[in-house]
Amino acid sequence: GWFRRLLHKRKPSSVESSLNSSHSSSSSPPSSSFSAQSSSSSPSCSPDISASGSPRWAKSYDICICHSEGDLELVEELVSYLEGQPQRFRVFLQLRDGAAGGALVSELCGAVQSSHCWVLLITPAFLRDPWCRYQMHQALAEAPVANGRAIPVLKDVDRREYPRELRNIYYISMALKDSSFRQIRDAVTRYLQELCQSSTSSVE
């Protein structure tokens, strides 16, 4: 009987001690557990593309839009949308931002070189315009590998008419304007985030 009573007394005490130990561990300051959680999840956080030291500022523009003059009204809508986003994209629009008196070829090449990404608005008018083709080739010469910098957008163009030079690059089909605008925004944001991420990794 005494042995049974002894076991009966020890069992609750062992459970109690385990409960006390677990309670003491769980009653640790929430800030420490939060900091551990935040530190473990911090690598997956997207880099701030607007930070002062961001490689985004190494170029004058985030986006250069290559388009035909016949599509200017749609392009102005797109520019207004992109510049009104929280990221405050810097967009080069030739008729607005080109230097007065500058040579057309120099302006086109300078805009391509000074921009991170190029939106190619491919419409029937684009395909007929030799200057649009020229600007597209300049963009491909800057980044021949499909790394997210060239963003083709097809509007009123059959897939069979998609330029052969761009066949290795996925395009956005502008069936719904609002959805396409968001896709363009997300593509540029993704490229700039990857640019910042790779820059941070190389520094580390």
- The C-alpha atoms of residue 200 and residue 91 are separated, in whole angstroms, by 25
Q: How many other CB atoms are found less than 10 A from the CB of residue 129?
A: 19
Is position 187 within any domain?
A: yes
Report angle CA 72, 77, 80 to the nearest 5 degrees: 120
202 in a structural domain = no
Half-sphere exposure of 91 (CA within 13 A, CB side): 23
Task: Answer whether residue 50 is part of any domain.
Answer: no
Token pair 């551990």 is found at 36
The Cα–Cα gap between 187 and 79 comes to 15
Number of domains in the chain: 1
The residue segments making up the domain with residue 151 are 60-197
Give me the tens of pLDDT residue by residue for the chain, a chain 204 residues long: 655 565 665 544 444 444 444 444 443 333 333 333 333 333 456 788 988 888 999 999 999 999 999 999 999 999 999 999 999 999 999 878 877 777 878 888 888 999 999 999 999 999 999 989 999 999 999 887 768 899 999 999 998 999 999 988 999 999 999 999 999 999 999 999 999 988 776 555
The string of pLDDT tens digits covering residues 124-157 is: 999 999 989 999 999 999 887 768 899 999 999 9
Contact 117, 87 (CB under 8 A): no
CATH code for the domain of 192 = 3.40.50.10140
Position 24 in a domain? no
Tell me if 17 is assigned to some domain: no
Note whether residue 108 is domain-resident.
Answer: yes
DSSP lists the bridge partners of residue 172 as 153
Q: Is residue 11 one of the residues assigned to a domain? A: no
Is residue 72 a part of any domain in this protein? yes
Confidence (pLDDT) at 98: 77
Please, is 100 exposed, middle or buried when counting C-beta atoms within 10 Å of its C-beta (0-12, 13-18, 19+)? exposed
What integer pLDDT is reported at residue 18 of this predicted model? 44
- Asked if 186 and 168 count as a contact pair (C-beta separation under 8 A), the reply is no
Specify the pLDDT at position 26. 41
